[in-house]
Structure 1
Amino acid sequence: MAAFVAAVLGASVHLPSLAQEKIKVAGVYTVPFEQQWVGRIHAALQAAQARGEIDYEATENVANADYERVLREYASAGHQLIFGEAFAIETAARRVARDFPQTAFIMGSSGGPQAPNFSVFDNYIHEPAYLTGMIAAGMSQSGKIGLVGGFPIPEVNRLMNAFMDGARAINPQVQFTVTFINSWFDPPKAKEAAFAMVDAGVDVLYAERFGVSDAAKERGVLAIGNVVNTQDQYPDTVVASAIWHFEPTVAAALEKIRTGSYTAENYGPYSMMQHKGASLAPLGTFEDKVPAEIKEKVAARQAEILAGTFEVEINDAQPKP
């Protein structure tokens, strides 16, 4: 994955060494903490706070129009490290970073790093998404699988494409239905989109958004989870999930802040399986329901991914039905 090695851009941000001090960290999120993507970031930072490594404050449900103001407030208040997502407000977020060059920003972004202090990250969990696609195809009786996503942006597209590639590895004839609800958090809308797919014959749903697993449960079909494992809430519905672990990203960033070596770079690779930034959730209640042959194929492919002998394609193009 040489193309994804974090590249240092420009000089370090000249923050003092903070080895013996708590780092003051802020989180600025456009959706609620319960949303799965932000929830993983928030949980990782809460864990760092519980360990005594950071002082952490966060604001959820920040409107795009208010995002710049909230970023500036945290930076002005002396927060040394700020996490958030800049997908819809790239220009504003990068402008704030330029105005506070001694503050470290690490933002979910479709763009690259901006020297000296604006780093980017993403949930590169396409590898376990591929594995869940294999499981989905192995569990589908109709050969019809539906995918419900938020927006057709690279961060979503690559997961869906990887999932579809994994499904094709098991059943080359599998048919896909793809819908985007154009929202990051609208469970009722996602649920309705899923209902339409089930009515069309789909018997496995890829739940990129919350609400899809509810539809699957109500209609008696199966679901595949994304980012978080919700099988405990849907024990007879959610077969498998691709899990994002933000802890490696947080650990890497905090170490660089502590040592005064922070630079603008791409933290995306820390979300990959080789860094333990992603994983396939245990099958749990479906351990004895997934065919043994499928489990063997998934285990073999996972071993190849971890060994670097198989590379899941990163395809950011909008997936096609």
Structure 2
Amino acid sequence: MTFKTRRAGISRRQLMVTAAGVTATGIVGLPGRAFAADPIKVAGIYTVPVEQQWVSRIHKAAEAAVGAGTADYVYTENTANTDYPRVMREYAEQGYGLIVGEIFGVEQEAREVVDEYPDTAFLLGSSFLQDEAHPNLAVFDNYIQDASYLSGIIAGAMTQSGNIGMVGGFPIPEVNRLMNAFMAGVREMKPDASFQVSFIGSWFDPPKAKETAFAMIDNGADLMYAERFGVSDAAQERGILAIGNVIDTQADYPETVVASALWHFEPTLNAALERVAAGDFKADNYGVYSFLKEGGCSLAPLGTFEGKVPEEAMALVAEREAAIKDGSFTVEIDDSEPKSA
């Protein structure tokens, strides 16, 4: 494991008073107005390097909060699932007011830890919704299906063969919903499109993702959906296009990555910090802050592909984006495992 610190410019005494307290109703939070101006002690616990797509968004938002003076931030990366509960306990014992991370591999164990520290607020990525039995645990996920759908429209306009390869980490809801939304967007422009779908069984194994992508390209795919690192490398080497996920990698693949569905964690984290500061943090679903209308996701600029995507597709993207924001169009949240078709 690797421990790192990102601190705001405050004193040791101020750090101590930012630990969370318990209200009379048992809901976790700070005493509110008395300490609203003090940075909240935030600890991040990640199972992968902070460079990994998904975790990098949390890390970036936390560092932005440090810059804004609303958080004092430390983190641990490359934490094995077997160590995760221990690290949670260590940070809780040290008085951190808000602990963020991802517990997809330790759902039950994490909830046991949460119950041991009712004075600590936990904001954790999870496959499950909030549970009032754990009042100090709020959950989130990257519900960026809106942006994934829009990127699919572009992909549908850019594929020539209609054969698209899709490489994911694990077939769990947070991956499935993005793939399904992307496929729905593709079909807006290419109703007869076919998809090759595979999962590599890892959140961070670029070589395996690359080899899986090569196999799909050999099987006729002329555009790849890069849910994992390594896929765009394969697309670049074979001279085909790719669509990115969560972060914008076009600068690294200027002739390959046409567009990306971006995740912005800032609205999620800022909402949690506000609740902790106000003293009313509680079990809740923070996934809604990832929606397009909340500013939690967006379609990356086309950059090098500006003017190269058919006008018809870009007109539909603009139309649907506006409709999603005003509520007249809703992208389906489909958590079922996508299949090759």
1:13 maps onto 2:28 in alignment: yes
Does the Cα contact within 8 Å between 1:11 and 1:263 map onto a contact in 2?
no
Task: State the alpha-carbon separation in 2 of the partners of residues 194 and 137 from structure 1.
Answer: 18
Does the Cα contact within 8 Å between 2:29 and 2:278 map onto a contact in 1?
no
SS at structure 2 position matched to 1:24:
strand
The match for 2:290 among 265, 271, 275 is: 271
What is residue 6 of structure 2 aligned with on the other side?
Answer: none
Task: State the alpha-carbon separation in 1 of the partners of residues 329 and 90 from structure 2.
Answer: 45
Does the Cα contact within 8 Å between 1:152 and 1:318 map onto a contact in 2?
yes
Does the Cα contact within 8 Å between 1:177 and 1:197 map onto a contact in 2?
yes
Does the Cα contact within 8 Å between 2:29 and 2:276 map onto a contact in 1?
no
1:176-220 deviations in Å (ceiling 9; x for gaps): 000100000000000000000110110110000000000000000
SS at structure 1 position matched to 2:44:
strand
What is residue 314 of structure 1 aligned with on the other side?
Answer: 333
1:173 maps onto 2:188 in alignment: no
1:246 maps onto 2:261 in alignment: no
SS at structure 1 position matched to 2:274:
helix
Task: State the alpha-carbon separation in 2 of the partners of residues 288 and 217 from structure 1.
Answer: 20
**Matched residue type, 1:210:** F
- The offset of 1:14, in angstroms, is 4.8
Does the Cα contact within 8 Å between 1:15 and 1:102 map onto a contact in 2?
no
1:84 maps onto 2:111 in alignment: no
1:60 maps onto 2:77 in alignment: yes
CA RMSD, Structure 1 to Structure 2 (Å): 1.0
The match for 2:68 among 51, 75, 92 is: 51
Task: State the alpha-carbon separation in 2 of the partners of residues 72 and 213 from structure 1.
Answer: 38
What is residue 316 of structure 2 aligned with on the other side?
Answer: 297
**Matched residue type, 1:125:** I
- The offset of 1:319, in angstroms, is 0.2
SS at structure 2 position matched to 1:31:
coil
1:214 maps onto 2:229 in alignment: no
Does the Cα contact within 8 Å between 1:139 and 1:290 map onto a contact in 2?
yes
What is residue 276 of structure 2 aligned with on the other side?
Answer: 257
Task: State the alpha-carbon separation in 1 of the partners of residues 318 and 219 from structure 2.
Answer: 32
- The offset of 1:15, in angstroms, is 3.0
Task: State the alpha-carbon separation in 1 of the partners of residues 142 and 246 from structure 2.
Answer: 8
SS at structure 2 position matched to 1:119:
strand
1:152-184 deviations in Å (ceiling 9; x for gaps): 000000000000011011111001000100000
What is residue 17 of structure 2 aligned with on the other side?
Answer: none
**Matched residue type, 2:110:** A
- The offset of 1:305, in angstroms, is 1.0
**Matched residue type, 2:207:** P
SS at structure 1 position matched to 2:268:
helix
Off by >4 Å, runs of 4+ in structure 1: none
Change (3 A) 1:14 1:211: closer
- The offset of 1:22, in angstroms, is 1.4
SS at structure 2 position matched to 1:152:
coil
What is residue 4 of structure 1 aligned with on the other side?
Answer: none
Q: How many residues align?
A: 312
Q: How does 1:67-78 map to 2 (within 5 A)?
A: 67-78=84-95
SS at structure 2 position matched to 1:224:
strand
Task: State the alpha-carbon separation in 1 of the partners of residues 326 and 300 from structure 2.
Answer: 19
Identity %: 61
Task: State the alpha-carbon separation in 1 of the partners of residues 187 and 339 from structure 2.
Answer: 14
- The offset of 1:109, in angstroms, is 0.2
Structure 2: gaps (5+ residues): 1-24
Task: State the alpha-carbon separation in 2 of the partners of residues 290 and 15 from structure 1.
Answer: 50
The match for 2:173 among 147, 151, 154 is: 154
SS at structure 1 position matched to 2:28:
coil
**Matched residue type, 1:13:** V
Task: State the alpha-carbon separation in 2 of the partners of residues 167 and 116 from structure 1.
Answer: 40
